[in-house]
Amino acid sequence: MNDCIPICRGTRYSRHPAFAGAPGQAVCDWKGVSGAPGDTVCDWSVGVNLRSLRLLLVLGLVGFLPACAWSPFRYEEPKGPVEPLVEDIEGSRFVLGKDDSIVGQLATVKMKEGDSLPDVARHFGLGLEGIGEANPDLDLWAPRPGSRVILPMQFVLPDAPRKGIVVNLAAMRLFYFPAKKKGEVVTHPVGIGREGRSTPTGEMLVERKAKHPTWHVPASIRKDHERKGDPLPAVVLPGPDNPLGDYAIYLSRPSYLIHGTNKPYGIGLRASNGCVRLYPEDIETLYRDVPVKTPVRIVNQPYLIGWRNGELYLEAHRPHEELNAKQLKKNLMAALKKIEKKHERKLDWPKIERVLSEALGVPIPIFENSENFDDLVRKAVALKYPDELYGQPKPPAMTDSGWYITALESGDELSAQRLAAVLNHQGPQIPARVVASENGRFKVIAGPFKDSKATKAAAKRMKIDLDITGDIVSPKERVSLK
């Protein structure tokens, strides 16, 4: 059983200068919960690039982060009369004017007990990194009930022809401009290639499409899995273990696809082997709408300039490691100076520097005396909490005949809640819950599983993906869970 809880400094949701190391790097110390009698203390210090969160929910290295973030853009609850809540707003399909370069609007919603940011992100058509960037002060896995979450549902279109599919790797979003519906754009969050297996940029075409695709595993990926002790077959048939999901769009560039996933909570992360992943519900729509021979353009634009109602906006994302960040910033500044001169309006240059530094992924106006981030959030659409968050994983009820895995025992309830949330968001789900013990400690119990074989398979996944060694509990030993 693993009693190690990560206590991370310098995570992607923490921007305090005291946590700074090498640019884009962080050191994550995994330690047992301090102060709880009997807790094991282990110090696994590993250097990882948490700016990308590329292995979240895949390798679980930063799986259950504590809420240790700080940001100068600190949103405060509005004072005064409370505006009525709005039922819903459009988040994926928009009508474009000829000169429009920004779509959507900022929104907020309050969290409830048991929610996590991945749940909210999926329901509102956002990726995990996008919602995390906009909410650096919220706990990723166990946000405080009643917390107001900023939903970054406003997007600057990439600088590319409005034709076919355009994927912006930096924003981790796909934009589809239907040929038969001029002036319309459909947008979805995506997961993209991890560092070392980056999604390629350039122009391509949709070559063919397949429903319930079979995955022919590349030799390089099979070797990677063999090294981890998780061998893969040469061919993976359709089903819950197929990472392509239920729909695949094959591109003219060999070996690259736009497809679904069996790990939906990896959307909005750099976690794939180079393909572009979508939520299952989004790829189903895209598969239906996109014809063969549709042009596909993949770009990597972390700095996006857009206009709305005469105001100039800047949307900034952290540049990926394969880009020349200094040159990108130099090019941006030159373009902004030209705009300043042409329109004879002064830009707020200190504000521009803050926007670039924070990289919140939210379009922010940058002319002098324009609204700041707090102003935008105060004006954001306050949404009514939905009856149910789409796709939110919930563990089945415990049974006397079920098999279980004790993944953690700790004196800290919040840490236990985080780990349970991480397990529930694995793909496929490893059902888990927090059980209070009679001794005042808390156990994370995974299951129920139908038999010994299924339990051992889940335990293996926990070990390989999350480095958690759990204790298997048979039906006869179930009393030990109390």
Residues with a catalytic annotation lie at: 259, 275
Q: For the packed helices 413-424 and 452-466, what is the interaxial angle rounded to 10 degrees?
A: 110
Closest C-alpha to 244, from 277, 282, 274: 277
- How far apart CA 1 and CA 43 sit, in angstroms, is 16
- State the distance between the two ends of the chain, measured CA to CA, in whole angstroms: 16
Query: What is the residue type of 32?
Result: G
- How far apart CA 153 and CA 120 sit, in angstroms, is 12
Query: What is the residue type of 389?
Result: L
Quick check: 132 and 13 in contact, CB under 8 A? Answer: yes
Tokens 């996944």, residue?
A: 461
The C-alpha angle with vertex 453 and arms to 447 and 457, in degrees rounded to 5, equals 65
Quick check: 416 and 442 in contact, CB under 8 A? Answer: yes
What are the residues whose beta carbons fall under 8 Å from the beta carbon of 441, sequence distance 6 or more?
36, 409, 410, 411
Q: Is the peptide bond before 428 cis (omega within 30 degrees of 0)?
A: yes
